[in-house]
Structure formats: structure tokens, C-alpha cells
Amino acid sequence: MARLVNGERKIINPRPENAGKLLIFCEGVTELNYLDYFRKYIDNNAHEKYSDIVIKTINAEGNAMRVYNFAEEYLSSEENASKYLYYEKHLVFDCDAPDNIQEVIALMKESDNNYVLDYSNLLFETWLLMHFQILEPGKNVDKRSIMNTMSEYIGVEDYDSKIKASTGTIGKILGSNGNEKIRAAIDNAKKLEKYWNDEGFDMYYNIKDMNPSVKVYGLVERLLDEVVYLCK
């Protein structure tokens, strides 16, 4: 596992809140591998463990509705609902499918489970790509160009399902300067978010127009802060 904290830590800002108790439902194995990278890092390196991160994944076949249905069904169990009553519940999903993604987001928002919506538009690879380059607002990114560019950056001929599913792919993306790459991606995501806000766009009404954009950066930033402050 590559180090997310290298050398002496120079902490300027006050210590952030812990990530806390998180129950995360995610769409596929790529998202699982990425988020599990942080979970394992915290479990293996934190002297004092303040947070509990639980990740549930489903082979959603690129469909946000299945993520929502899976989470709703999982939490409809009295045992699960009780066990995770005080956990913050997250849905990590892409916006490329289904076609009525705006209606799906409305369902997510209206759920009694009070989900935090950590979307990537179009794909989770949009977020991964931001570890390498700046994505500009208003210039739509399509699936093919994202996948081709990912292939170039990680040095493979084809960024296919096998590469996506490999646990080593996330390590290759983060490399030896993972902290720096993630912080750059977070900064890019915040600039995109500000742009869409300034344009009067909102994920609950205009998600299809907000390409590229990601909301998953908020969850990632909290996990990375936990790593920086609590891990060697």
C-alpha cells in the first residue's frame, strides 16, 4: 500500500472532525477499491480509531437506481437499521444511467434514510481522472475519452473491466504522491462545484447539464483528513 502521509506532517489548520461512523453503499468494484484503500489505511495506521467505515457494494451494472434500491432494501431490515442507526449513510453512484437519473436522485433525496449523495458525473473515472489533470467546466466529457485517457495515465493498452476490478489499479493511480494527487482533485472538484453554483445549476434539478462534476470529493476529503491527522 502506497503511503498517503510521507515524511514530517506540517499541519496548519485546526484538527478537523473525525470521519465518524459511515455506512457507504457504492456502485461497483472500482468505487469499492478506492474507498477501501482509505478504510484499510486508517485501520492499519491510526493509533486511536475514532471512526468506523463500513462499505457495502453491489454489482449495479452502472445503474444508480440499483444502488438506491439495494440501500433501501438493506436498511429495511430491522437488524441493519438498528445496527447502523447512528451512522451517516452515503450513496456513491455514477450519473450515466439510468436515463431518468434526475428522478432517481429525487428518490434518494426524499428517502427517510437521509442519504448523503456522493455522485460522479458521468463516471467514477471522472473523479479518478482528476487525480492527473484539471477538468474544465462546460466542456462535456464522454465515456470513451475518459477511458482512453485513463489508459494513457496508468500505462495500459485498454482500461477494461479487468483493470477496473484490480485492487492494484488504485495504488497505481495514487502512486508515491497520493496525498498531493487527491488534494489537487479535491481542489478541482470544488472549483467545478462553484462554477455550477454560480451558473444557477443544482444537482437536484440539472444533473445532466453539470458535466463534468463530482460530489464524492467531500467524502474523500474527510477520509484523507482522517489519515493525515491520525496516521503515521
Is residue 15 over pLDDT 80?
A: no
Which of the two residues, 228 and 1, has the higher pLDDT score?
Answer: 228
Share of the chain above pLDDT 90, in %: 75
- Give the number of other Cβ atoms within 10 Å of residue 153's Cβ: 16
Q: What is the pLDDT of residue 9?
A: 43
Average pLDDT over residues 36-49: 82
Which residues lie closer than 8 Å to 164 by C-beta, 6 or more apart? 28, 29, 30
Report CA-CA distances (Å) from 84 to 78, 90, 118.
10, 12, 19
Task: Give buried/exposed letters for 35-63 (b at 16+ CB in 10 A, else e).
Answer: bbbbbebbeeebeeeebbbebebbebebb
What pLDDT band is residue 190 in, cutting at 50, 70 and 90?
A: very high
H or E element at residue 188: helix 178-198
What pLDDT band is residue 41 in, cutting at 50, 70 and 90?
A: confident
Q: Residue 182 and residue 131: Cα distance in Å, rounded?
A: 6
Which residues lie closer than 8 Å to 94 by C-beta, 6 or more apart? 27, 62, 64, 119, 120, 121, 122, 123, 124
Q: What is the pLDDT of residue 228?
A: 82
